[in-house]
Amino acid sequence: MQPMVIKLENVGIAVRDIDATIAFFTDLGLTVLGRDTVSGEWADTAVGLDGNHARIAVLQTPDGQGQLELFEYIHPDAIETEPTRPHQIGMHRVAFSVDNLDDALAIAAKHGCFPLRGVGTYEDVYKLTYVRGPSGIIVMLAEQLRASDATATRT
């Protein structure tokens, strides 16, 4: 039996305000590939919600490799929850490499989004932080300072 072919298509995130969330991610450098409103029996079945009706947007990273699908529910009403913490089971985060962490943090701050605690440095290889983004999304931003020993031996 041959292994199943599998490919990551996108990361989907339910948001409170799709326009504000799009503004945050496009300011970081992502591009909107498309926007739509979805509903109907197919959506009810696929998602598992009766009367599923949502505004969606698909954004792509500048390298063309990563995509986010944002959805803002029209029906049923979105359920507000406390933002997850990094150690909670089921916590999710979106991670981005950036060429200048200070610039990325300035962009995030413009949207009222700040690090959970601060910026850490991992073995003089990366500076990184978790930022609380729109709708409580945890966004990891990391700037590579130098190639790691593992990377250097592969190149």
125: closest CA among 102, 152, 86? 152
Sign of CA dihedral 152, 105, 25, 11: positive
Q: What is the pTM of this model?
A: 0.88
- Is the Cβ–Cβ distance between 153 and 131 less than 8 Å? no
What the block records as the tokens of 106 is: 């300035």
Q: Which residues pair with 56 in a beta bridge?
A: 36, 71
Position 117 scores a pLDDT of 95
Residue 83 three-state SS = coil
The per-residue pLDDT of the chain, averaged, comes to 92
Task: Give the pLDDT confidence of 70-126 residue by residue, as tens digits.
Answer: 999 999 999 998 888 899 888 889 999 999 999 999 999 999 999 999 999 999 999
In the chain the domains, ranked by start, together with CATH numbers, are: 1-80 (3.10.180.10), 81-155 (3.10.180.10)
